[in-house]
Amino acid sequence: MPLFSFGQTDEPALRQAQGPKSPEALQLTLEQALEIALSESNTIKIADMTVEKTGYARKGSYAALYPNVSINGSYQRTLQKQVMVMDMGGQAMEIKVGRDNNINATATASMPLVNAQLWESLKLSGMDVELAVEQARSSKIAMVKQVKQAFYAVLLAQRSLDVVTSVYENAQKNYEKTEQRFNVGKASEVERLRSQVTMMNAEPNVSSAENSVLLATWQLKAVMGIDLNTDVEVVGDLNDYTEEMLTPYVQEDDLSNNSSLLQLAIQDRMLESTIRMQKKQYLPTLAASINYNYSAMGDSELRWFPSSTAAVSLSIPVFDGFQKHNAIKQSKVNRNMLALQREDAERNLRIGIRNYNDQMALCIKNYQAANATVEIAQKSYDISEKMYEVGKATLVELNDAQLALQQAQLTQAQAVYNFMVAKASLDELVGKE
């Protein structure tokens, strides 16, 4: 039965979609995979665009500090003039009023002089940019974790393929030896058939492991954001990470760089700024404006008349039905709710840190135990193989020794994989970039 599989799939279709290996396949290390993902992934591109978009919004909010200048023009043609009737010495006289042509051009400039609410809203827009930057950093940290875990999955699939291939080659070699012994009368028909069945049972495991490698590689390319038809060859081995795993490990417990908590902190400051802005709505506002008007009217000949005004307007809020008061109360409640959410989030993150640290410690113990088991199982298999060759061991004993070796090798690889996956998740949790 398959010892490692990402899922069932049609092998011929998968091989056809993957295509033959090209001699110019992209040699992909973990560092290269991360570099490509951070430049090609749509998730990262969207995060960067969000930061850019928020930056433009912040610049747009500063427009309220500059004078707002507008120019308007209008032309009016009188189709039928208005008639006024006046009593002149007892006689009614009709007088047409107005001109055939009326032209008006107006230029207006206005800007706030004192507006505390506006100034506070500008600070709030700056925090929007800060939040977008932190969200982009969170996306990059999450992407690094996903790429690492997908990369380790490929290495585990490759290691599993190596193990089951070795098992198949050993089973094939044992069958050939048993066939030779059967031909000279030193092995029974049962032993020959049993060795043949063992070899045939090992072959589907190789095919399943090959499919697992292809599927894991597809998953890695999908996470990296590159074309699935790109021919890549993952370079590395899980054994490359044993030194990192066995190095004395200092447990992580610092959440100062955790992106979720940093985003909640920014949101708290935004609510605090919102409350200040709402309170400043009670303050008067002062604005200045300048208006210049140029108009003309006439029938066949136009006469132009310029005019201009300058004004300062003061607005003092008096009563709004307690609208601002209730808005401030609502914002304070929202801030209290956010504080409780932050407390719960930090508590859950502490649990996550403890969980990952415990998982990594367990993986180290499992690896050390599996490492010793592999050495013993390898010796046991070598001895069983030699004893079988001289007829002092049965094929069942040899198969048992081979199965024990296979299980020990896979357990060893699984321990390294589980450690690196847990470490990648822990790095994301504590906010390592």
DSSP 8-state secondary structure symbol assigned to residue 79: S
pLDDT of residue 250: 67
pLDDT bin (cut points 50, 70, 90) of residue 106 is very high
Averaged pLDDT, 171-195: 84
Which one is predicted more confidently, 296 or 388? 296
pLDDT of residue 314: 93
- In whole angstroms, give the CA distance from residue 175 to residue 170: 8
Task: Please classify residue 150 by burial: count the beta carbons closer than 10 Å to its beta carbon, then call 0-12 exposed, 13-18 middle and 19+ buried.
Answer: buried
Least confident of 99-108, 113-122, 219-228, 384-393: 384-393
Which one is predicted more confidently, 21 or 280? 280
pLDDT of residue 257: 93
Question: How much of the chain exceeds pLDDT 70, in percent?
Answer: 94
Is residue 391's pLDDT more than 80?
no
Question: pLDDT, tens digit, for every residue of 339-369?
Answer: 999 999 999 999 999 999 999 999 999 999 9
Averaged pLDDT, 180-187: 82
Is residue 13's pLDDT more than 70?
no
pLDDT of residue 351: 94
pLDDT of residue 60: 86
- Residue 97's DSSP bridge partners are 82
pLDDT bin (cut points 50, 70, 90) of residue 61 is confident
Which one is predicted more confidently, 7 or 64? 64
Cβ(356)–Cβ(429) below 8 Å: yes
Q: Scan for tokens 């072959």, then name that residue.
A: 203
- In whole angstroms, give the CA distance from residue 179 to residue 193: 9
Q: Concatenated DSSP letters for 249-268?
A: -PPP---TT-HHHHHHHHHH
Third-level CATH fold of 11-67+114-283+321-430: Outer membrane efflux proteins (OEP) (1.20.1600)
User: How is the chain split into domains, by residue range?
Assistant: 11-67+114-283+321-430
pLDDT of residue 249: 66
